[in-house]
Each structure stands twice: as structure tokens, then as C-alpha cells.
């Protein structure tokens, strides 16, 4: 098999893998609690809408959706994924970077000192690197939003007790607090200031930021606007509940630290040992790529590594 055919096959495989990983990273699956909150407030998905639809206020007028993005939007809203990571990049550019990195990884193996059998591995690792970077930034931004949210709710509560309206309290959060909470609440206030109903503006904010505590906040606001009640007291209780949940989460993280470290060591040991053996005796390791039985053993090892990672993650991932 020629080098060109190998590079083309690697590119196709990496592109498919990138789409699959994007679906895994989208983080848009809703829990049972979120579904119940949506039922209470009537915030369920609109019939006939697709994941690729975007708001006209947030989409640039000169930006058109190409055929590739339209196809991927059936599985993943890439624009929202990038927006949640606070990255000003088009989905087409992200996919182009993934493809370019995959081709670069395969091209590295054209060097005489590197065996051509490592081309798929290098291509996959470099091809999914941009997706991991976006996912890391998204996760860090959402975690920062979750930490700032109790303070934002308390600030709105104090504004309500001082006699301000709810919209004024949201505007105060957008002006006084830093990003990402300040930016999202400021965006919500500007949307309702342009004529959009406040309930819809809050609903769009929960779609941009998949946070359960934020959904509790929006549910409390919508129910209070429909039935009445002391919203300031409700927000104080929700803020206290979120802070207590963070304390419990910190205790769980400290108790499961040993399990996480053991998982990292167990998952990193086979690749590191493979690299060491390749440096010491390359011919011994290359049997895994040249012999049919070695190929089966290598595939079984990769599958067992993935299954082990999923099992360890399931054990140490305790939801609060």
C-alpha cells in the first residue's frame, strides 16, 4: 500500500473520529431533573426546530452555513459548542484545523526515522487535539460560571430588596461581575432591552450555558412571574443550596483523589512502556504491527484500555 493511500485513509478516519468525539463532548443531554424543570416552565424544545438553528441576534449577517456544517448540525451544534468555550471561530475553520493537524501527523511518519505504521496513531492524536483544546476551554468556562452563579443570584436578591426590578438586577450583574457570568447576564439584559420577552431571554441563556443551577434560577424566576411570591428569598435559598453543594463536591474530590491518581497511572503505564520498549528494541515491538496476531493483540489492548478508562471514570465520577 502506497504512502498516499495511507494518508488519505488516515484523513478520512480522523475526520469521522472528530465528528464522533464532538458528539460526545457536546454536553447537551438533559437529565431527568432538567426535563421536569422544562415541563414546569414550558421551556421544552420547539417542534420543528433543529440543533443547527441559531439566533439572528448572535449570528453574523455575512456568515453563511455551508453544506458540511449543515450536515454536522444534525448531530452536534458546533456553533454553540464553540460559543460555550468562548472561541470566536467558525465550525468550518475548526474542522479544517482538525483535518490539517491529522495530515500533519501522518506526514511526520514520512520521516525515515519513524515507521510508517505509526501514521494512523499520529494522525488521530493530532487530529483530535483541537477538539480536546476546545472541550477543555468549554469545561473551564462552565466551571467558572458555576462558581460565580451563587454570587450573581445574591446580587440580584439584594437589588430586588433595594426596590429595583428584576431586569435592573440582571443588568447590575452584567455590569458588576466579571466574565463569564457578567457577559451572559449582560447578553440576556440586552436581548430583553431590544424587545425580547424576559422569559425567552432567560431561556436562551440556559441553552447557551448548560448548568443545572442556572436552570433552577430561571425556573424560579418564571414561576414567580406567573404565580407571585418573594423572589429575593427564593434566590437566597438557591444560592445557599449551590454553595453547600460545592462544599460536598470538594469533599468528594478529596476522597476520590487516590482513585483518580491510580486511574492516571494505570492508563499511562501501557503507552509509556510501549515507548520504552520501542526505544530499547524496535524489532520486538514492530511484531505488533507486522504479524496478524500482533495486530489482533494491539487492537484488543486498545479496546481494553478504553473500557478500563470508562470503568474508572464511572467509579470516581460521583454526581452531587
Highest mean pLDDT out of 87-101, 158-172, 216-230, 255-269? 158-172
Find the mean pLDDT for residues 128-132. Answer: 89
Residue 85 is assigned to a structural domain of this protein = no
Among 6-10, 68-72, 229-233, the minimum mean pLDDT is found in 6-10
Return d(Cα 314, Cα 317) in angstroms, integer.
5
Find the mean pLDDT for residues 195-213. Answer: 89
Say yes or no: 244 and 263 in one domain.
no
Please check the confidence at residue 241 and state whether its pLDDT lies above 50: yes
Please check the confidence at residue 267 and state whether its pLDDT lies above 60: yes
Distance of CA 100 to the CA centre of its chain: 22
pLDDT at 319: 74
Count the domains in the chain. 2
Say yes or no: 270 and 223 in one domain.
no
Say yes or no: 244 and 285 in one domain.
no
pLDDT at 155: 92
Q: Where does a domain end: 253, 268, 302?
A: 253
pLDDT at 281: 86
pLDDT at 185: 93
> pLDDT per residue over 171-196, tens digit each?
999 999 988 899 999 999 999 989 88
pLDDT at 141: 92
pLDDT at 119: 79
93 or 5: which carries more pLDDT confidence?
Answer: 93
Say yes or no: 148 and 226 in one domain.
yes
Please check the confidence at residue 253 and state whether its pLDDT lies above 80: yes
Find the mean pLDDT for residues 294-305. Answer: 87
> For residue 306, what are the CA distances in angstroms to 49, 86, 132?
35, 30, 17
132 or 116: which carries more pLDDT confidence?
Answer: 132
The CATH number of the domain holding residue 178 is 1.20.81.30
Say yes or no: 239 and 284 in one domain.
no
Residue 183 is assigned to a structural domain of this protein = yes
Q: Where does a domain end: 232, 253, 274?
A: 253
Among 36-40, 114-118, 125-129, 241-245, the minimum mean pLDDT is found in 36-40
Mean pLDDT taken over the chain: 78
Residue 51 is assigned to a structural domain of this protein = no
CB 55 within 8 A of CB 83: no
Contacts of 148 by beta carbon, 8 Å cutoff, 6+ apart: 177, 178, 180, 181
Find the mean pLDDT for residues 102-107. Answer: 85
37 or 311: which carries more pLDDT confidence?
Answer: 311
For 149, the domain range is: 143-253
Q: Where does a domain end: 253, 270, 288?
A: 253
Amino acid at each position: 500500500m502506497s504512502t498516499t493511500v495511507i494518508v488519505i485513509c488516515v484523513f478520512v478516519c480522523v475526520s469521522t473520529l472528530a465528528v464522533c468525539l464532538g458528539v460526545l463532548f457536546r454536553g447537551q443531554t438533559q437529565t431527568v431533573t432538567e426535563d421536569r424543570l422544562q415541563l414546569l416552565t414550558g421551556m421544552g424544545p420547539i417542534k420543528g426546530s433543529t440543533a443547527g438553528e441559531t439566533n439572528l441576534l448572535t449570528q453574523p449577517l455575512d456568515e453563511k452555513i455551508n453544506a458540511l456544517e449543515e450536515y454536522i448540525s444534525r448531530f452536534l451544534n458546533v456553533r454553540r459548542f464553540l460559543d460555550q468555550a468562548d472561541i470566536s471561530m467558525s465550525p468550518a475553520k475548526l474542522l479544517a484545523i482538525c483535518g490539517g493537524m491529522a495530515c500533519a501527523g501522518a506526514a511526520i511518519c514520512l520521516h525515515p526515522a519513524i515507521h510508517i505504521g505509526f501514521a494512523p496513531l499520529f494522525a488521530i492524536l493530532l487530529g483530535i487535539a483541537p477538539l480536546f483544546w476546545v472541550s477543555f476551554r468549554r469545561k473551564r468556562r462552565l466551571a467558572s460560571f458555576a462558581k460565580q452563579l451563587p454570587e450573581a443570584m445574591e446580587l440580584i436578591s439584594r437589588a430586588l430588596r433595594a426596590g429595583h426590578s428584576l431586569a435592573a438586577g440582571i443588568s447590575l450583574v452584567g455590569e458588576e461581575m466579571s466574565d463569564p457570568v457578567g457577559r451572559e447576564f449582560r447578553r440576556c439584559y440586552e436581548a430583553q432591552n431590544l424587545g425580547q420577552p424576559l422569559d425567552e431571554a432567560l431561556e436562551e441563556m440556559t441553552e447557551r450555558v448548560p448548568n443545572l443551577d442556572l436552570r433552577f434560577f430561571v425556573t424560579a424566576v418564571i414561576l414567580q412571574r406567573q404565580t407571585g411570591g418573594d423572589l429575593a428569598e427564593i434566590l437566597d435559598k438557591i444560592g445557599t443550596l449551590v454553595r453547600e453543594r460545592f462544599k460536598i463536591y470538594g469533599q468528594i474530590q478529596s476522597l476520590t483523589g487516590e482513585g483518580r491518581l491510580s486511574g492516571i497511572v494505570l492508563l499511562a503505564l501501557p503507552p509509556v512502556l510501549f515507548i520504552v520498549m520501542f526505544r530499547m528494541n524496535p524489532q520486538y515491538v514492530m511484531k505488533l504491527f507486522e504479524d496478524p496476531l500482533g495486530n489482533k493483540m494491539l487492537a484488543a489492548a486498545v479496546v481494553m484500555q478504553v473500557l478500563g478508562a470508562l470503568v474508572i471514570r464511572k467509579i470516581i465520577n460521583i454526581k452531587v
